[in-house]
Structure 1
């Protein structure tokens, strides 16, 4: 019995879709001058139709609006991925090999520029600092000998060759110290050893303010020189990288406004600007990368999220659009309810695009149609309920 009901229900739905069946109500929600004529033409169907009185219509929250062409900007839709702003992103490593003795931060930590991330003990750093101190001592000694030789040369108390030798020793010592200074500068450390610490101790600090988004540092591990230990990103702005097909490139320019929507935050829109369009197409996908920079003050846009992107194109065009709430799925087709006379017609439509709470309709509606913009789901429920009742 249940199976036969389901088969009958499916057949009735198919018949309704094919014939454009009308669900009637009494009285009409929206007044119309030709209501009487339309009702007379459809009078033969009224007895068998599902009716909605004024009270039922009010409880269902029905609202009908006449749609007219609306001027909108041309929009290009694309798919993209959220990523960090690479101009505000840094991978942090140590310039020398050493054993990690302190890990000061973890993933997700907010750090200021110069904040301590980790410490390590490096034999290479200890050697460099010791060599610098030795070169400085040798320079001081060479300078004293050279000045003494110059004084003795005034009254010929020393041979000229000894003066020249003292001068050469002084220049050699000065060059060695300069080389030590350059090596320490390259390592990003000072020659002076912090009080109470070892000359082998190296502090690894954050190069910019931001959030720790990667950490590979492990306490006690021996890290190699320039091995990535952390990644720090300033996520107050992010980049959304979208793929554009070659046919769409002519309509997109740097500086164009863009809107980003994420599945993680339904109904939310994030405004951005196109800051870069790739100069090379991917050989396999035949797409170029467009970069949209988006402000992210609340940190909602997390790197790795997928995004739907709409990029504004030059020019405007007239379209028919309806609120997203007006469109529903009925028998596998996107459908709207259109008020005709004293009833509602479920009319299939083809969607061109959606965004900002609106759906642009490519076909299925005409200018002047009166569309149910609120309460469409209540009508759908009543339609299905009436069909189930008839099947009994």
Structure 2
């Protein structure tokens, strides 16, 4: 029995030893392998984290190497798009798909002297009637138009052609005078001559006058004949109309010569001189080129189109040119292109009215772009001369420029549309020069503590307390005398009280914050123009007021946003200190 127990004990010991040898070593190896695997995984993950950048969904210009809070608004950072790291503040990166969809194309900038247009300036214009050859056919006596023989525009009229027949009562009396004076011409030749001259002044010919005199009968209707040849450009009377002496009946244009009138932009004016040759083409005769000479440059700039009229006179004896016809003119520029001037396609330039912008590809191997402001010179054909802002060899966007600008705007970067929004708010308010006496400054300073409590209540999103402190601030401001205030000073104080009363009577938090924006637009400039008894910080949230930005006053440098409260407590920055 004892031997059996001994054998069992020995077997158990041997079994445990064998198990330890087999499973203990394997476990150690497994653990070791696991540790190595974990270390490898950890190493790979660390490498991945080193490459991953983090950004803010509301402020894409923020790029951090690790997760955390946005330094502007305090929101949690999110993983940035792969490859977005390393971009400058105003650079944007687009995907290859976006580039293809927008058909974005780029061109390397070169010297203007290498362009194919050879300094030729292209102009668009129209054919117009030569007003120097326009004439108006008028009625030489008063009467009623019995028959009008010319009654539509474009009708060809020859000299001596009958234009109209008029019943003229004054001519009836003058004819009777002629018949009477003819019987007395031997005894009163002066009277006879005066009557004939009277009829001649009414443009009656000697033949007509002699016919009246010989027949001895009075005519009621008299013809009016064309004195020049031309094309009817305007019919100015109708059959049956009563016309006075000298009133126009028809306007004639002689189209043997016409004007080609072109619109030249303001920055092109220096390129033109009277007497320059201009080559003209038209869609009606695409295989023909006509040569003209600049005869007139309008001295007055059109304020609407910002252009001047450049005119050339063309001979038109073959009647090829019709008024209203579109034409294109090419002129050799009067000034020579400077050697260091660059030339860029017109499609590359975004023109805002005050600034000219292009997008430069800053990375030759990746679609990374940056907005660049340039100074434009003259336009030659489809190209602009650039005198500043670009270097020879820069690669710029020439097709899809608006798409790139839209991408920059969406990413919160500097763009054509938001450039003006980046002005310094404090500088704008500092420009409001106001004058306040010592008594006003002292009284105004007494009202600011309740304003600050109202601001703190907005930070806490406590609408009831906001209303109470707005009422207290309004009461303090209403006690201030306005008798010595100027117009602008009084307007700012009155508007501040108006906004405080609106905040006090409305406990809707969003409505209170909307009025708080306008309140600060009026109360902060006052605070910037008085002697303050306390140090204040002018702080600004760029996202408030529908992303237009809004300011407020605080005695603490640390940002506590009254427009968003806990939602974005630290969104904002100090823009000035008082």
Give the TM-score category using the shorter length.
Answer: 0.5 to 0.7
CA contact (8 A) 1:325 1:373 kept: yes
* Corresponding residue of 1:112: 156
Select 2:403's aligned residue among 365, 378, 384.
378
**Distance in structure 2 (CA, Å) of the matches to 1:271 and 1:347:** 41
- Unpaired runs of 5+ in structure 1? 13-24, 27-38, 139-167, 261-269, 283-288, 303-308
Q: 1:117 to 1:133 in 2, by over 3 A?
A: same
* Corresponding residue of 2:361: 339
- 1:1-392 counterparts in 2 under 5 A? 44-45=86-87, 50-53=93-96, 55-71=97-113, 73=119, 84-105=129-150, 109-114=153-158, 117-126=163-172, 187=203, 189=205, 190-191=207-208, 198=219, 200-205=221-226, 207-213=228-234, 215=236, 217=237, 219-234=239-254, 237-238=258-259, 253-257=273-277, 273-275=293-295, 292-294=311-313, 297-300=321-324, 314-318=334-338, 319-329=341-351, 333-340=355-362, 341=364, 342=366, 343-354=368-379, 356-387=381-412
- Unpaired runs of 5+ in structure 2? 1-55, 64-80, 213-217, 281-289, 301-307, 315-319, 414-542, 548-578
Once the two structures are superposed, what CA deviation does each residue of 1:356-381 show, in whole Å capped at 9, x if it has no partner? Answer: 33323232122222222112122223
Once the two structures are superposed, what CA deviation does each residue of 1:43-81 show, in whole Å capped at 9, x if it has no partner? Answer: 7339x963322x543332222222222245598x9xx99
Higher-RCO chain (CA-CA 8 Å, sequence separation at least 6): 1
Once the two structures are superposed, what CA deviation does each residue of 1:88-117 show, in whole Å capped at 9, x if it has no partner? Answer: 2001112233222234555x7112123654
- The structure carrying a bigger strand percent of its residues is 1
CA contact (8 A) 2:126 2:325 kept: no
Secondary structure of the 1:317 match is: coil
Shift of 1:328: 1.7
Q: 1:344 to 1:272 in 2, by over 3 A?
A: farther
The count of residues paired between Structure 1 and Structure 2 equals: 291
Q: 1:365 to 1:49 in 2, by over 3 A?
A: closer
**Distance in structure 2 (CA, Å) of the matches to 1:181 and 1:271:** 49
- The structure carrying a bigger helix percent of its residues is 2
**Distance in structure 2 (CA, Å) of the matches to 1:211 and 1:360:** 45
Which protein has the larger Cα radius of gyration, Structure 1 or Structure 2?
2
**Distance in structure 1 (CA, Å) of the matches to 2:333 and 2:120:** 5
Q: 1:238 to 1:118 in 2, by over 3 A?
A: farther
Q: 1:56 to 1:242 in 2, by over 3 A?
A: closer
Q: What value does the CA root-mean-square deviation take over the aligned residues?
A: 5.7
**Distance in structure 2 (CA, Å) of the matches to 1:111 and 1:123:** 30
TM-score by length of 2: 0.38
* Corresponding residue of 2:10: none
Shift of 1:221: 4.4
**Distance in structure 2 (CA, Å) of the matches to 1:323 and 1:204:** 58
CA contact (8 A) 1:81 1:242 kept: no
Once the two structures are superposed, what CA deviation does each residue of 1:275-322 show, in whole Å capped at 9, x if it has no partner? Answer: 2589xx99xxxxxx99723559343279xxxxxx99866452234232
